[in-house]
Amino acid sequence: MHRKVIYMVLVFMVSLPLYGYAQETNPQTVFDQANKQLKDGNIHQSLELYRSIEGEGQISGALFLNMALNYMRLDSAGMAKYYFLKAGEYEETASAAAKGLQFVENQFSHQSVILPALPWERALNWLGNVLGSATLLVIALILINVGVFIIIITWFVKKSAYKKRVVAYTIAGLGLALMALSFYVDYRTQRYSKAVMVSTQTNVYTKPKAEASVVNKAFEGYTSTVDHKKTASHDQWRYVRMSNGVYGWIPASEIKVL
């Protein structure tokens, strides 16, 4: 009997610190602590807590929005822009992120020339961001199945069979085209990502080495498109297309990829 009591007491004593640890490391608890630190003006402490949540993968629009506000108070406009863009991907924080992004854009000392996207690029961006490759693939499969179903019907219903086959082949062909488009949209999404320049300035090189020729300069807040396929074999570098149309290599530490 005494052994059972002692065992229960020991288990209870061990479980208390574990319970306290679980409470302290709960993402919501840490988030609340970070918010309090931010409110009290302890910027570095709050940012460290926010980063710990991000590192655990417990991300949200509110987290990114608060991190952007933190970086604004640290006068790190590039990082603030990056996290405002991340917060803008969430419906609940999109409006606040847009206002913050508009404000931070006016803080940059250098503004980049931005070439307008070509019509087909805008269309592909819309398909990737709004519909997504998975939705396109589902629509494609539905169309293909409808086309096949109509063809099967013509085997049993001979009236206007030719017209039905034409319609069926047209629908199935459209489905196949959409399937190919869905694969391309997915490939494009995987290969390219938007990035933000977070350091004060850096050179854009013709090759992934500091001794290469410089083709342009990039400044804090500049956006670019990273080509992951060309970058794959160079861990310390990123091959980018700048918003002004210039292609080149930038040190990986100078940018944050969205």
Tell which residue, 186, 207, 192, has the closest CA to residue 250: 207
Q: Would the CATH topology of 2-105 be identical to that of 193-257? A: no
pLDDT at position 83: 95
Helix (H) or strand (E) holding 256: strand 255-257
Asked if residue 171 lies in contact with residue 153, where contact means CB atoms within 8 angstroms, the answer is no
Q: Provide the 3-class DSSP secondary structure of residue 194.
A: strand
Task: Tell me which of 15 and 170 has the higher pLDDT.
Answer: 170
Segment 174-217, tens digit of pLDDT: 999 999 999 999 999 899 999 999 999 999 999 999 999 999 99
pLDDT-based confidence at residue 10 (cuts at 50, 70, 90): very low
Q: Report the chain's mean pLDDT, rounded to a whole number.
A: 85
Beta strands in 148-236 (DSSP E): 192-197, 201-205, 214-219, 223-227
| Fold assignment, 2-105 | 1.25.40
Is residue 25 very low, low, confident or very high in pLDDT (cuts 50, 70, 90)? low
Cβ-count burial 108-123 (b if 16+ within 10 Å, e if not) = beeebeeeeeeeeeee
Q: Which fold has domain 193-257?
A: SH3 type barrels. (2.30.30)
Whole-prediction pTM: 0.77
**Which region among 85-94, 115-124, 130-139 has the lowest average model confidence (pLDDT)?**
115-124
Locate the domains of the chain by residue range. Answer: 2-105, 119-191, 193-257
Instruction: Say if residue 225's pLDDT is above 90.
Output: yes
Which strand ranges, in their side-by-side order, compose the sheet holding 201-205?
214-219, 201-205, 247-251, 237-242, 223-227, 192-197, 255-257
| 113 has a pLDDT exceeding 80 | no
What distance in Å separates the CA atoms of residue 224 and residue 210, rounded to the nearest whole number? 19
